[in-house]
């Protein structure tokens, strides 16, 4: 029978160098709790559990969800799905513990499972020992050991988070945990999952592959709203989960569509004549609309037209002052319009303009 895996303060400090001492010491002191829930059967389960715990607690820096009383009342108050019946419940039953236990109903449920009245004493949920017990109970109730044995971090993340928020951060903690408790192992391939906000050469490659499918997309190395929208559209067309994450299945689908993906055109590759012409016109329009001169000319023509039509009732000084003020406003508007146009063209704000 394998010896139980014990956690030490030094190991947890290596996992989360910025973690609070009292939290790390509390988890290490009560690490035997993990054995009762099968988390020390193998080191892979332990690494997955600690990776999720590290992310949810901001690197073991807090066991209480960040936010003010007003924020929690507005966000969680009277949330029937959480069992909150009063506005004050939003703050009283805010997220606490390793996996951020939230809502009156969840406090009641896990309190009953552990034979502790958490509904009456919700602050107990942030104690390191009880927080660890609640997290292990949640892990067991959702059968997460099964996914940990398969090294399926996406499935675990979805069952803890309800989605894939912070997936890359969880993967980072998992890699660090495996380097501590499973040295020499390689948890992931070099082709990591890409998501909104990522930058770099892998994003350039993704954008190039999507562009090769005939979609209009900027190849700028920034996984922005435009890239997210195009990727989701591609996933939907190929009957994949349209989650906007570029992982193994999406990569395989793009490879099937682009059999020459290994020879994908680089960022500065030549474009077809029609594409070149469209981009040249677009650049001309961007330059034209971002120029304040055109707006100044327009207001000048407008002032001339008003003068021709008999701009009566105003003295020459009033007319001059009015024209100057309007001219300043229009010039500022032209400058702002140019900035927005360039931002849209660079895939910063998302709406498709081409």
Span 128-169, pLDDT tens digits: 999 999 999 999 999 999 999 988 898 899 899 888 788 889
Task: Report, in this order, helix, strand and coil percent for the chain, each rounded to 5.
Answer: 60, 0, 40
Rounded CA gap, 79 and 86, in Å?
9
- 324: its two tokens: 């100057």
Q: Express each pLDDT in 52-86 by its tens digit.
A: 999 999 999 999 999 899 999 999 988 989 999 99
Phi, psi of 20 (to 5 degrees): -75, 140
Range of the structural domain that residue 224 is part of: 201-263
Contact criterion met (CB below 8 Å) for 218 and 207: yes
97 and 182 belong to one structural domain: yes
50 or 264, greater pLDDT: 50
Kindly state the average pLDDT of the residues 24-29.
94
Looking at the fold, whether 341 and 288 belong to one and the same domain comes out as yes
Q: Which of 51, 81, 265 is nearest to 166 (CA)?
A: 51
Checking if the pLDDT of 3 tops 80, the result is no
- Tell me which residue has tokens 């989605």: 163
pLDDT score at 138: 96
The yes-or-no verdict on residue 211 having pLDDT over 60 is yes
Place of tokens 């380097």: 179
Instruction: Classify residue 141: in a domain, yes or no.
Output: yes
Please answer whether residues 164 and 245 qualify as being in contact, where contact means their C-beta atoms are separated by less than 8 angstroms. yes
Q: What's the mean pLDDT in 316-321?
A: 60
Q: Please, which pLDDT band fits residue 126 given cuts at 50, 70 and 90?
A: very high
In this prediction the pTM is: 0.60
Give 281-296 pLDDT, tens digit per residue.
666 665 555 555 565 6
> Would you state the pLDDT for residue 194?
80
Q: Which two tokens stand for residue 178?
A: 């495996």
Q: Are residues 53 and 135 in the same domain?
A: yes
Structural domain includes residue 353: no
Asked whether residue 91 falls in the same domain as residue 205, the answer is no
**In this structure, is residue 193 part of a structural domain?**
no
Mean pLDDT in the chain? Answer: 80
In the listed set 245, 263, 281, which residue is the last one of a domain according to the structure? 263
- Which residues on adjacent β-strands are paired with residue 222? 199
**Could you tell me if 50 and 171 lie in one domain?**
yes
Same domain, yes or no: 40 and 95: yes
Q: Measured between alpha carbons, how far is 43 from 200 in angstroms, rounded to an integer?
A: 32
Closest CA to 33 of 149, 142, 134: 134
Q: Are residues 8 and 86 in the same domain?
A: yes
pLDDT digit string (tens) for 243-253?
888 888 888 88
pLDDT value for 258: 78
> CATH number for the domain including 39?
1.10.530.10
Q: Is residue 138 domain-resident?
A: yes
Instruction: Report yes or no on 229 lying in a domain.
Output: yes
CB neighbours of residue 245 within 10 Å:
21
Q: Name the pLDDT band for 352 (thresholds 50, 70, 90).
A: very low
Q: What is the DSSP string of 171-193?
A: HHHHHHHHHHHSTT---S-SSPP
Residues 8 and 143 occupy one common structural domain = yes
For the segment 311-329, the average pLDDT, to the nearest whole number, is: 59
Residue where a domain stops, chosen among 186, 212, 244: 186
- Straight-line distance from the first to the last Cα atom of the chain, in angstroms, rounded to the nearest whole number: 64
Is 60 exceeded by the pLDDT of residue 273? no
Q: Is 97 helix (H, G, I), strand (E, B) or coil?
A: coil
Give the DSSP letter of residue 63: S
| Residue 190: per-residue pLDDT | 41
CATH number of the domain that residue 234 is part of: 1.10.101
Q: Would you say residue 1 lies in a domain?
A: yes
- Does 41 share its domain with 150? yes
31 close to 37: Cβ distance less than 8 angstroms: no
User: Is residue 144 assigned to a domain?
Assistant: yes
Q: Examine the domain organization and report whether 245 and 97 are in the same domain.
A: no
- Boundary (domain end) residue, out of 151, 186, 221: 186
**Environment class of residue 156 by beta-carbon count within 10 Å: exposed (0-12), middle (13-18) or buried (19+)?**
buried
Number of domains in the chain: 3
Same domain, 74 and 13: yes
Confidence of residue 353 (pLDDT cuts 50, 70, 90): very low
pLDDT at 233 over 80: yes
246 and 307 share one domain: no
């Amino acid at each position: 029978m394998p010896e139980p895996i014990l956690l030490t303060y030094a190991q947890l400090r290596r996992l989360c160098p910025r973690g609070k001492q009292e939290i790390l010491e509390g988890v290490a002191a009560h690490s035997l709790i993990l054995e009762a829930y099968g988390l020390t059967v193998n080191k892979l389960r332990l690494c997955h559990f600690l990776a999720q715990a590290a992310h949810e607690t901001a690197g073991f820096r807090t066991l209480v969800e960040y936010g003010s009383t007003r924020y929690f009342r507005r966000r969680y108050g009277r949330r029937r799905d959480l069992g909150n019946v009063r506005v004050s419940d939003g703050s009283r039953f805010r997220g606490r513990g390793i996996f951020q236990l939230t809502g009156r109903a969840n406090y009641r449920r896990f309190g009953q499972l552990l034979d502790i009245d958490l509904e009456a004493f919700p602050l107990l949920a942030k104690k390191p020992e009880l927080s660890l017990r609640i997290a292990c109970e949640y892990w067991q109730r959702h059968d997460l050991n099964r996914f940990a044995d398969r090294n399926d971090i996406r499935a675990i993340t979805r069952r803890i988070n309800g989605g894939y928020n912070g997936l890359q951060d969880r993967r980072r903690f998992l890699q660090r945990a495996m380097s501590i408790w499973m040295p020499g192992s390689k948890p992931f391939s070099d082709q990591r999952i890409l998501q909104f906000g990522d930058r770099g050469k892998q994003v350039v490659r993704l954008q190039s592959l999507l562009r090769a499918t005939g979609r209009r997309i900027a190849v700028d190395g920034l996984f922005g709203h435009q890239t997210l929208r195009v990727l989701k559209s591609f996933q939907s067309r190929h009957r994949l989960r349209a989650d906007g994450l570029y992982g193994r299945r999406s990569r395989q689908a793009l490879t099937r569509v682009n059999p020459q993906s290994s020879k994908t055109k680089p960022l500065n590759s030549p474009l077809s004549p029609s594409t070149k012409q469209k981009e040249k016109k677009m650049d001309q329009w961007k330059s034209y609309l971002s120029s304040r001169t055109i707006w100044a000319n327009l207001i000048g023509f407008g002032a001339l037209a008003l003068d021709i039509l008999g701009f009566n009732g105003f003295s020459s000084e009033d007319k001059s002052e009015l024209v100057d003020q309007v001219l300043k406003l229009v010039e500022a508007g032209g400058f702002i319009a140019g900035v927005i146009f360039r931002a849209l063209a660079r895939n910063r704000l998302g709406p498709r303009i081409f």
